[in-house]
Amino acid sequence: MQKVNIKTNEEISNRDKIPYEEIKTKNNSKISITNFFLNGITFISFTGLLILSWLSLIWLYEYHFVFTFYRYEKLHDLPQEYFPIQINSFLFYVIIIFICLSITFTYLLFIKEIIQLHSFDILNDNNKNYIIPITLNLFLFYIGELTHNKSDIFHIYYFIGFVASLISLFYFIKLYYEADLNENEIIDFKIYFNNVSVYEFFYGSLIALDLYYLFYVTCQIIFYFYGSYDIKIYLGIIVNFCMGIVGTYICYKLKNMVIAFLFEIIFNGIIIFHYYNFSDKDRKNINLNFGEVLSSGIFIVGFLIELIYIFIYKRNKI
């Protein structure tokens, strides 16, 4: 009679359990290697962004550029150059310094989290999607350094900057919106403080800068192909209005006070640029009207109302 090999359920279970545990261990090992790699990229990109953002102030002074924004100065012996949605030189410094401080403060919290808790999770995204917009903004800040060697191919940076700012905006807004911070009651002060730093200031300031830049570089691209003053002037009114509408909508959806605050500065800077840099004679020479000034004034009021509304909204949520 043939011997029958009888195995108990426990033996079968133990046999099947071994490969499953091996697979699980291998998967966990792959995940940890991936996380280690992504955390390394995060640290390098964030550190680079911190350094280049502060260096951009030097480049702004020496080369007059941040991203491909140009910092105009009033030259009394030369006719003033007009460009759509251009802001006053001093307020441009204010905006960049504010953004540098926002980056620095969040970076310090980031380093503190790594040292104390051995965690990279302060930016609150398990997929590490924030690496993409951080790296793109790092590159956009570096463009300012390249301008001292400006050549005939410099216009290529307009197109690169347009795509980079568009992708950066998509990821920052997606990360911010998916966090759903405005609908959740945050009781823990540390979590609340970290979220305010990351989302309100860090994400908010870079969203505002990228959005402003997206419209600014669009004007640079259009003017590269069609470089007449008449187009510039009417383009200024159209782009100013579109930027205000889009900025107001994004600010309302995200309930972010920093975005509203920075756009208050931007639209005030546009008005100051017009009044400080152009005399009546200059305006007549280039047929510059007050359409952009009027549009800016409307959005100054709009963003101020939005700023107050968001403040009241967030105070009631606490």
Q: What does the alpha-carbon distance between residue 69 and residue 209 come to, in Å, rounded to a whole number?
A: 11
pLDDT at 204 over 60: yes
Q: What does the alpha-carbon distance between residue 154 and residue 70 come to, in Å, rounded to a whole number?
A: 13
Mean pLDDT, residues 269-275 taken together: 93
Mean pLDDT of the chain: 84
pLDDT band for position 78 (cuts 50, 70, 90): low
Q: What does the alpha-carbon distance between residue 206 and residue 211 come to, in Å, rounded to a whole number?
A: 8
Amino acid at the residue 130: Y
pLDDT over 90 percentage in the chain: 50
- When computed from its CA atoms, the radius of gyration of the chain, rounded to whole angstroms, is 25
Cβ atoms 271, 291 nearer than 8 A: no
Q: What does the alpha-carbon distance between residue 101 and residue 99 come to, in Å, rounded to a whole number?
A: 5
Mean pLDDT, residues 201-224 taken together: 95
pLDDT at 26 over 60: no
Q: What does the alpha-carbon distance between residue 11 and residue 31 come to, in Å, rounded to a whole number?
A: 31
pLDDT of residue 24: 43
pLDDT of residue 203: 95
**Nearest CA-CA partner of 144 in 35, 54, 33, 63:** 63
pLDDT at 202 over 60: yes
Q: What does the alpha-carbon distance between residue 198 and residue 210 come to, in Å, rounded to a whole number?
A: 16
What residues form DSSP beta bridges with 65? Answer: 70
pLDDT of residue 150: 67
SS3 labels along the chain: CCCCCCCCHHHHHHHHHHHHHHHHHHHHHHHHHHHHHHHHHHHHHHHHHHHHHHHHHHHHHHHCEECCEECCCCCCCCCCCCCCCCCCHHHHHHHHHHHHHHHHHHHHHHHHHHHHHCCCHHHCCCCCCCHHHHHHHHHHHHHHHHHHHCCCCCCHHHHHHHHHHHHHHHHHHHHHHHHCCCCCCCCCHHHHHHHHHHHHHHHHHHHHHHHHHHHHHHHHHHHHHCCCHHHHHHHHHHHHHHHHHHHHHHHHHHCCHHHHHHHHHHHHHHHHHHHHHCCHHHHHHHCCCCHHHHHHHHHHHHHHHHHHHHHHHHHHHC
pLDDT of residue 51: 96
pLDDT band for position 172 (cuts 50, 70, 90): very high
pLDDT band for position 2 (cuts 50, 70, 90): very low
- Its pTM stands at 0.86
pLDDT of residue 138: 95
Mean pLDDT, residues 15-41 taken together: 59
pLDDT at 261 over 80: yes
Cβ atoms 201, 173 nearer than 8 A: no
Query: Quick one: tokens of 77?
Result: 């012996």
pLDDT at 10 over 70: no
Span of 29-38, 163-172, 180-189, 282-291 with lowest mean pLDDT = 180-189
